Structure 1
Amino acid sequence: MKQFLIALTLFATSALAQTADDLARLRAADVVILGEVHDNPTHHDMQAQIVQDVAPAALVIEMLGQEDADALAADPAAFAERWAQTGWPDFQMYLPIFQAHDGPIIGAAVPREVARATYADGVAAHFQGDAAAYGLNDPLPDDQYTQRVELQFQAHCEAMPREMMGGMIDVQRLRDATLAAGVVQAFADTGGPVVVITGNGHARKDWGVPSYLARVAPELRVISVGQGEDGVPPEGGFDVVLDAPAPDRPDPCAQFK
C-alpha cells in the first residue's frame, strides 16, 4: 500500500482531489476505467498498481476477444506469443496488469472483420446488444461529430479526406459501447468491482465508455482515470488525471511528410 501511495503521489496531477481522496474513490467505485497511451510503459505500471489495490472481481480489456482473454486469464505468462500476433505493443508492459489480477478477464475487442463491416452497415447493425438503449441508433450531435471528425483527421496525419472519418467514428462508437456492455455483464456476473483497461479515448467521460454506462447502468459508481504525458492531460474529461514522461517514439506521420 505504501508503494502505491508513493507512486500515485509522484504521478497524480488531478486538481479535483487530494491523493488520498483519489485512492479512496478508486477503492469505493463499482467500475474503475483506467485509460492509457498504449505504448507508454509508465501508464501500464500505474494500471498494474491500481489493479492490485482495487482487487477487482473482473477485468475488462479492449485488446482481446473472449477466447483469447480466457487463455490469458488461465496463464498470463504463457500468453506472450499469442499476444504478439495481435499487433498491440510489447506484452511485457501489460503482463504486470494481468498478473496483479486474480479472476476472470472479459475480452471486449471488436473483431477486425466486424469493424470493417461497420463502415458499410453502420454502428447499430453490428452491436451485440440493445443498440437503442446505448444510443447507437441516434446520430451524434453536430458539434460532437465535427469535433470527432477533426480528431480522427489529425490522428490519421491529415493523410485522408475528412469525408472518410465518419466510418472511423462509427467504429469508435461500436468499441465504446462494446466495452460498456462488457462492464455491465461483468458486474452482473461478479457483483464488482470491475476495472477496465483501455485507451484514453475510450476512457473519456464526455463520449467514451463512461457516457454509455451513464445511459444503461446509471446506478453504477464509475471513476474514469486518464493518463497524460509530459504535463499534457488527455482530452475528454476524467475524474482523476495522472501524468508520466512520454517514451521515445518515432513520428507516426513521418511517412507522409
Structure 2
Amino acid sequence: MQSKERILSRLISYALLGTLLLTGGCQYNQRPESAALIEPASQVEAHPLRGKIIALADGKQISPEELFKQLRNHRFILIGEKHDNPEHHQRELQLLQALQNGSNTRLVLEMLDEQQGESLARLSSMSSESEIKTLLNWNDRNWPWQDYGPLISAALREGNQLKAGNLSKPVLMQIYQTGLPDQPRLATVSTIPQTIRATIQQQVYESHCRTIPFEQMGPMTDIQLSRDASMAYALNHQLGEQMQAILITGAFHARKDTGIPQHLRKLTTEPVVSILLTETDDSIKTAAEAISSNAETADYIWFTSRSEEKDYCAPLQQQSHKQDS
C-alpha cells in the first residue's frame, strides 16, 4: 500500500487536473446598464441550446439582460465554470461588468488562496499588470492570466473588493496529514450531512480517475469540503449590508446540492443564486431535458460552446504509474 507521503505528493502535483474533471430581497446593485455582449472566440456550433440561458425555477429561456436584471436583486452570486473553456471566462467578465457597483461589489476568486489574499490590500486601480502578478505571486501554469487577469483588472478598475477564496498548499497538506485546523472559515465542514459527503467523495474519486484507492479518499474529501467552506466564508465574512458578493469558481463548487451553497446556508439566511456555465451536450437538446438534468444543481444554466476535447485522465494515470514503479 502506498504511504501517505506519496499520496500527498500526488495530490499536490495534480490537484488542478482533478478539479478540472469536477468541472464541473433588497436591491444591492443600482447600475442600470448591462455589459456589452461578448461573442465567444470558439467556432459557432449548431447545438440548439448553445448560448441559451434557462431559469430552472420556471423553465423559461431568458436573455442576458434579463439575467443581469434578476441577479442585481440578490446578495450572493455563484458562477460555476469549466476552468479551461475560453467562453466561460468571457461570460464571467460579462456578468461581472454588468453587476459591478464600485465598493459595494465583492469579488471572490477560487484562483486566489489566503496567502495571496494578504497582498490584495496593496493593489489599486493604478496597479499595472506586472505589479499585480508580482504581488500575488501569480501561478500562470495553474490559472492562466489571460483567463483570470481581466477579471482582477476589471475589479480593481471599478473599486470592487477583491477576496481570496481558496486554501493554500500548506493548509491543504495540514488537512490531509492531521485533519482540519480549528479555524472559523472551516467551521461549516462538520455541519455537512453524511449523504452529501458520500456524494462528494465519489466525485473526488472519479475526478482523480480512480488512480487512488477509494478507501483513501477521506482526507481528499475533507479538502474538497474545506475549500467549499473557505469560499463560503470569504463571500459572507464582514460583508457590508449593501454589498453583493460574486464568486468565480469551478462548477462543482457552485452546485447547490453539494457545494458552497450548503455552507453558506449555515452562515446566512440570504438566498444564494448559482449560475452554471455549461458546455452543450448532445444528450441534452431541449430546455425540458436541461431542467430535468439540473433541477437541484443551480438556479440558472447558461449553455456555451464546447472547449477542446482533452484526456484529463492521461496525466494522472501516467503519474500514478510512475509513483507505483
TM over 0.5: yes
Q: 1:115 aligns with which of 172, 179, 196?
A: 172
Is contact 1:59-1:105 (8 Å) kept? yes
- Residue 130 of structure 1 and its aligned partner are, at CA, apart by 7.0
Say which SS state the counterpart of residue 212 (structure 2) adopts: coil
- Specify the structure having the higher radius of gyration (Cα): 2
Say which SS state the counterpart of residue 303 (structure 2) adopts: strand
Is contact 1:60-1:194 (8 Å) kept? yes
Is contact 1:205-1:224 (8 Å) kept? yes
Say which SS state the counterpart of residue 87 (structure 2) adopts: helix
CA offsets 1:215-252 (integer angstroms, 9 cap, x no match): 2101x232111111123779760111112222215311
- Residue 72 of structure 1 and its aligned partner are, at CA, apart by 5.6
Within 1, Cα distance between the matches of 2:163 and 2:192?
29
Report the aligned-residue RMSD: 2.9
- Map 1:1-257; keep pairs closer than 5 Å: 1=34, 3-4=36-37, 10-15=51-56, 16-20=59-63, 21-56=66-101, 57-64=105-112, 65=114, 66-70=117-121, 75=127, 77-78=129-130, 79-80=132-133, 84-85=138-139, 87-101=141-155, 102=158, 103-123=160-180, 125-129=181-185, 131=187, 134=188, 136-138=189-191, 140-141=193-194, 143-185=195-237, 187-188=239-240, 191-218=242-269, 220-231=270-281, 237-255=297-315, 256=317
Q: How many residues align?
A: 250
Note closer, same or farther for the CA distance 1:240–1:43 as it changes in structure 2 (3 Å cut).
Answer: same
Is contact 2:277-2:302 (8 Å) kept? yes
Between stretches 243-252 and 152-161, larger displacement belongs to 243-252
CA offsets 1:34-63 (integer angstroms, 9 cap, x no match): 111111111111010110111152111111
- Structure 1 gaps of 5+ residues are none
Note closer, same or farther for the CA distance 1:40–1:193 as it changes in structure 2 (3 Å cut).
Answer: same
Note closer, same or farther for the CA distance 1:126–1:118 as it changes in structure 2 (3 Å cut).
Answer: farther
The normalised TM-score by structure 2 is 0.68
Say which SS state the counterpart of residue 62 (structure 1) adopts: strand
Between stretches 21-30 and 78-87, larger displacement belongs to 78-87
Note closer, same or farther for the CA distance 1:149–1:221 as it changes in structure 2 (3 Å cut).
Answer: closer
AA aligned to 1:159 is T
- Residue 163 of structure 1 and its aligned partner are, at CA, apart by 1.1
Within 1, Cα distance between the matches of 2:68 and 2:96?
12
- Residue 162 of structure 1 and its aligned partner are, at CA, apart by 0.1
Within 1, Cα distance between the matches of 2:273 and 2:207?
26
Is contact 1:127-1:178 (8 Å) kept? no
Within 2, Cα distance between the matches of 1:6 and 1:97?
17
Within 1, Cα distance between the matches of 2:169 and 2:224?
12
- Structure 2 gaps of 5+ residues are 1-33, 41-49, 285-289, 319-325
Note closer, same or farther for the CA distance 1:62–1:205 as it changes in structure 2 (3 Å cut).
Answer: same
Note closer, same or farther for the CA distance 1:183–1:158 as it changes in structure 2 (3 Å cut).
Answer: same
Say which SS state the counterpart of residue 89 (structure 1) adopts: coil
AA aligned to 1:182 is A
Note closer, same or farther for the CA distance 1:73–1:86 as it changes in structure 2 (3 Å cut).
Answer: farther
